[in-house]
A and B are shown apart, each in its own frame.
Chain A
Amino acid sequence: MDSVTLTVNDKECHVAAPADEPLLWILREELQLTGTKYGCGEGQCGACTVTLDGKAIRSCVTPLSAAAGRKVTTIEGLASHGSLHPVQQAFLSLEAFQCGYCTSGMVLSAVALLSTNRNPSDKEIMHAMNGNICRCGTYPRILAAVRNAAHGAQKAE
């Protein structure tokens, strides 16, 4: 067992677990943050996407050791003071999901994209999100939701 300290959703956490254990299982089983999903365990579907120091990563292929001393944000950490993050709100407003299993990863990928590119083109959104699978096929709605979230954030400024 290794002892690792990381910041998850603005809270400092001390975790005793093997350093090679994927961050996904640490989040889900040690910290009970089950909003982050297992989809493939190979970084191919994006269901486990969280941000690490603001960048989208696949937590299923990221060892705990790589998160030591860094900031992790999961779906549970996005809403603040009871109001949804603009990306969450846009997904909800356009009902950009069916079964919802991909939604956490989709939202986190979009949040990471918009943090570096505040006005992405459709092509840029599709490129950035191409690693996230929605088997229900709600891509057209997700694309529209990310677009709306970007425009909404710009309007608010």
Chain B
Amino acid sequence: MDSDLDIQVTNELHQHDVGVGLHHFDLGRRDFLKLCSGGVLICFCSTSAPAQESGRIPSAHELPKDIAAWLRISEDSHVTVFTGKVEVGQNIRTSLAQQVSEELGAPVQSISLSMGDTKQVPWDAGTFGSRTTPTMGPQLRTMAVTARDLLVNMAATAWEVDASTLVAADGQVRDPKSGKSISYGELAHAQKLVKVIEGDPSFTPASQWKVAGQPLPKVDGPDFVTGKHEYTSDIHLPGILHGKVLRPSGFNATLTSLDDSAAKKMTAVTVVRDGNFVGVTAPSSWSAEKAIHALKAEWKVPPQISNRDLSAYLKANADKSKSEAADATGSISKGLANADIKVSRTYTVAYIQHAPLEPRDAVAEWQEDELTVWTGTQRPFAVRDELAAAFRMLPENVRVLVPDTGSAYGGKHTGDAAIEAARLAKAAGKPVKVVWTREEEFTWAYFRPAGVIEITSGAHRDGTITAWEYHNYNSGPAGIDVPYNIPNKLIQFHPTDNPPLRQGSYRGLAATANHFARESHMDELAHAINMDPMQFRLKNTSDERLRAVFEAVAEKAEWGKQKSSANRGFGLAGGFEKGGHVATIAEIELRSDKSVRVVRVVEAFECGAIVNPDGLRNQIEGSIVMGIGGALFESIGFGNGRILNAHFSQYRIPRFNDMPKVEVVLVDRKDQPSAGAGETPIVGVAPAIANAIFAMTGERLRTMPLVRGGTMSDGHDRRNS
């Protein structure tokens, strides 16, 4: 399990390591000495902490094997579970509690999770890659099973009976023979449960689950409908100041002059400058905003490319020495020579933003030489290390806490706002809160990588695929494998040397781009040989789990019953990624104003044994709605180091009137291990819509987003601009 996790983590970080931080502090010599009180400490900080961030392979972290590190029981039988995973709306605070409840034999209501607090929880790489359910789930179940057995043995010893005759349930151990019972809390006496895990304990099979597998409501749901839940930006500390950072007028800019006289005259405003970093602190958000606008700065911005040149740039700057072959089987030239038809096409995807509704934010507080930061991040331990590196400290002296966060979608891997708040708080000598504006969020957060994908394929008239040559430039290798039986394959990812925008992880990573290209291309092949796209896919895959979701979605959507026409189209896509099998059918209509509207999406999804069917359904529905944005209109415009549409009024994301009728078919495989589901349900949406557009209009759109301005007439811009 651990080695599997390590491989996953390494792959993910390797694919979408953001790498470049926003800030580097000079920190004056006096500050530096004050922060680092000893030579050993300086030596440690200047080597190992930065190495961890810049290195592509995370350092080995042995997970604790004793129960007490993961699970504690109080005298009143309340169970606290410790995990480095964080809640960003994917509902793991509930689904993990269900799994612990199931194995421990304690009511869900008696279980609470301490999440993402680096001082309290075992080290964790971060909440990404749909790894919580397949790895943290079993990790916590192991602890829960072991704790339950330990408690049963304690009761058996006390009662002098055979442990196998006792029953553990509802937070107590019972002896059915004598009728005696004792609560977990009484047994544990609030002591740490001491037992080191060895070997794999046996879990309750999914077919016998009573708590897991149920559609339990979100454990702290009432806090969200009453406004009681405290996000990072809601935290209030005595004497807290509000901070703002002066943003450069473009990427890679150098500050050439700064006039801060007007800002300095403002009541209770402090201006902080550290190299290229300039910020202010003030008693309120409003006064901080006025102060930052009062700064007069000049920046030198080097010339930089615009998105009109993007596709050519990504191909020209591909670093072929780093190209990876995901698959190289047989001979492409033989496969093509042997084919009745050959198709060669290029697909592109744009840079887009995550646009989480809670922008990046942080509250930082220094006490002596210790730093505490609350921030909405997916990687609390990585942010802790970033802070330690930025301020030349030992990681142990930095504590990062992550309140349940207003979404992330892969966008909150870094500690930019945390570092800004900490730098300002250090200067102010008081706690400081930094909340990014929407414009900052659109500009200074990292982006989902753009990409160019070239596919050349060959097929026989009977629907057999003979060759598949696939090159992905820049967007990434996730989901690049083809789930169809093809004898001759060459599949490669070509990373870009020096990509034009700061790019990183995004929900589903490149699986969205790779599924868009592959499933669009499959549709092109099907039409070229005049075969039904569903039949064509089924003919070419022997993956039973993929076949099952295709068949399930076809049945629910009544595929083939209604034919596409000039103003109504039906499109299909599917695939497999991160343990999830997905098949999506989109129904779209063309309105009289040439606007494209998605009217219905049906999706079948299978991710092994379902832990919480309502939570899963919510994730799939949300992925479909979010996927419509990237499919139809989301696109970052940029040029000369500036973002051209850094506002919700300029960057269109799905709203109520974009919402289709959404129908979800859950395929529950109780015989298969549970996999994550926060990402893969998004990957089929764009190709299903593109294929529906072709079915409706006969026009093949190969650029994501498909209809940037929302209508077919302005959606034909084939350039990636």
List chain A positions with a Cβ less than 8 A from chain B.
Answer: 17-18, 21-22, 25, 28-29, 32-42, 44-45, 47, 74-76, 78-79, 84, 88-89, 91-92, 95, 97-104, 107, 125-127, 129-143
**Are A29 and B285 in contact, with the CB atoms below 8 A?**
yes
**Are B438 and A39 in contact, with the CB atoms below 8 A?**
yes
B655 within 8 A of A: yes
Question: Residue B286 contacts which of A21, A34, A37, A127 (CB distance < 8 angstroms)?
Answer: A21
**Are B625 and A42 in contact, with the CB atoms below 8 A?**
no
**Are A36 and B236 in contact, with the CB atoms below 8 A?**
no
Chain A binding surface, main DSSP class: loop
Query: How close is A78's CB to chain B, nearest CB, in angstroms?
Result: 8
Query: How close is A56's CB to chain B, nearest CB, in angstroms?
Result: 14
**Are B358 and A37 in contact, with the CB atoms below 8 A?**
yes
Closest to A24 in B: B285
B230 within 8 A of A: yes
Known: A34-B227, A34-B236. 5 other contacts (CB 8 A): A38-B233, A47-B357, A84-B225, A104-B227, A143-B659
Q: Which of chain B's residues have a CB closer than 8 A to the CB of A88?
A: 225-226
Q: A35-B227, A99-B358 are in contact. Are A139 and B659 (CB under 8 A)?
A: yes
Query: How close is B667's CB to chain A, nearest CB, in angstroms?
Result: 20
B179 within 8 A of A: no
Q: Which of chain A's residues have a CB closer than 8 A to the CB of B359?
A: 38-39
A99–B232 Cα distance when bound, in Å, is 13
8 Å CB contacts to A: which residues of B156-212? none
Query: How close is A136's CB to chain B, nearest CB, in angstroms?
Result: 5
Q: Which of chain A's residues have a CB closer than 8 A to the CB of B653?
A: 133, 135
**Are B438 and A40 in contact, with the CB atoms below 8 A?**
yes
A-B residue pair count with CB separations less than 8 angstroms: 172
Q: Which of chain A's residues have a CB closer than 8 A to the CB of B217?
A: 92, 95
**Are A38 and B435 in contact, with the CB atoms below 8 A?**
yes
Q: Which of B406, B409, B435 has the most CB of A within 10 A?
A: B406
Closest to B286 in A: A21
The 8 closest A-B pairs by CB, nearest first: A35-B227, A137-B625, A99-B89, A101-B406, A100-B224, A75-B227, A98-B89, A137-B622
B717 within 8 A of A: no
Please count how many residues in chain B sit with their CB below 8 Å of the partner chain's CB atoms: 57
**Are B226 and A75 in contact, with the CB atoms below 8 A?**
yes
A132–B656 Cα distance when bound, in Å, is 8
Query: How close is B287's CB to chain A, nearest CB, in angstroms?
Result: 8
List chain B positions with a Cβ less than 8 A from chain A.
Answer: 88-91, 217-218, 221-231, 233-234, 236, 242, 284-286, 355-359, 404-407, 409, 435, 437-438, 614, 618-619, 621-626, 647-649, 653-657, 659, 661-662
Question: Residue A130 contacts which of B404, B648, B657 (CB distance < 8 angstroms)?
Answer: B657
**Are B406 and A76 in contact, with the CB atoms below 8 A?**
no
**Are A133 and B648 in contact, with the CB atoms below 8 A?**
yes
Q: A25-B285, A34-B234, A126-B659 are in contact. Are A40 and B225 (CB under 8 A)?
A: no
A98–B621 Cα distance when bound, in Å, is 11
Closest to B230 in A: A34
**Are B648 and A25 in contact, with the CB atoms below 8 A?**
no
Q: A45-B648, A95-B614 are in contact. Are A101 and B357 (CB under 8 A)?
A: yes
Question: Residue A92 contacts which of B222, B234, B285, B286 (CB distance < 8 angstroms)?
Answer: B222
**Are B224 and A141 in contact, with the CB atoms below 8 A?**
no
Q: A101-B231, A101-B406, A137-B623 are in contact. Are A126 and B358 (CB under 8 A)?
A: no
**Are B649 and A42 in contact, with the CB atoms below 8 A?**
yes
26 interchain pairs (CB within 8 A)? Answer: A36-B227, A37-B357, A39-B438, A40-B438, A40-B648, A41-B438, A79-B226, A84-B222, A84-B225, A89-B225, A98-B407, A99-B88, A99-B89, A99-B404, A99-B405, A101-B356, A125-B656, A129-B656, A130-B657, A134-B357, A135-B407, A137-B622, A137-B625, A138-B621, A138-B625, A139-B654
Question: Residue B227 contacts which of A74, A125, A130 (CB distance < 8 angstroms)?
Answer: A74
Chain B binding surface, main DSSP class: loop
Question: Residue B437 contacts which of A36, A41, A132, A140 (CB distance < 8 angstroms)?
Answer: A41
**Are A22 and B286 in contact, with the CB atoms below 8 A?**
yes
Query: How close is A48's CB to chain B, nearest CB, in angstroms?
Result: 11
Q: Which of chain B's residues have a CB closer than 8 A to the CB of A35?
A: 226-228
A40–B646 Cα distance when bound, in Å, is 11
Q: A25-B284, A42-B647 are in contact. Are A98 and B626 (CB under 8 A)?
A: no
Query: How close is A149's CB to chain B, nearest CB, in angstroms?
Result: 11
**Are B225 and A44 in contact, with the CB atoms below 8 A?**
no
Closest to B626 in A: A137
Question: Residue A32 contacts which of B236, B284, B437, B621 (CB distance < 8 angstroms)?
Answer: B236
**Are A98 and B227 in contact, with the CB atoms below 8 A?**
no
A75–B229 Cα distance when bound, in Å, is 12
Q: Which of chain B's residues have a CB closer than 8 A to the CB of A45?
A: 357, 438, 648
A98–B435 Cα distance when bound, in Å, is 21
Query: How close is A62's CB to chain B, nearest CB, in angstroms?
Result: 13
Closest to A30 in B: B284
A68–B654 Cα distance when bound, in Å, is 35
Closest to A134 in B: B357
Q: Which of chain B's residues have a CB closer than 8 A to the CB of A44?
A: 438, 647-649
**Are A102 and B614 in contact, with the CB atoms below 8 A?**
no
Closest to A21 in B: B286
Q: Which of A21, A29, A40, A141 has the most CB of B within 10 A?
A: A40
Query: How close is A88's CB to chain B, nearest CB, in angstroms?
Result: 4
**Are A140 and B659 in contact, with the CB atoms below 8 A?**
yes
Question: Residue A136 contacts which of B89, B218, B284, B647 (CB distance < 8 angstroms)?
Answer: B89
Closest to A123 in B: B657
Closest to B94 in A: A95
Q: Which of chain B's residues have a CB closer than 8 A to the CB of A104?
A: 227
**Are A126 and B657 in contact, with the CB atoms below 8 A?**
yes
**Are B626 and A135 in contact, with the CB atoms below 8 A?**
yes
**Are B662 and A140 in contact, with the CB atoms below 8 A?**
yes
**Are A97 and B626 in contact, with the CB atoms below 8 A?**
no
Q: Which of chain B's residues have a CB closer than 8 A to the CB of A125?
A: 656
**Are A138 and B649 in contact, with the CB atoms below 8 A?**
no
Question: Residue A101 contacts which of B222, B358, B625, B626 (CB distance < 8 angstroms)?
Answer: B358
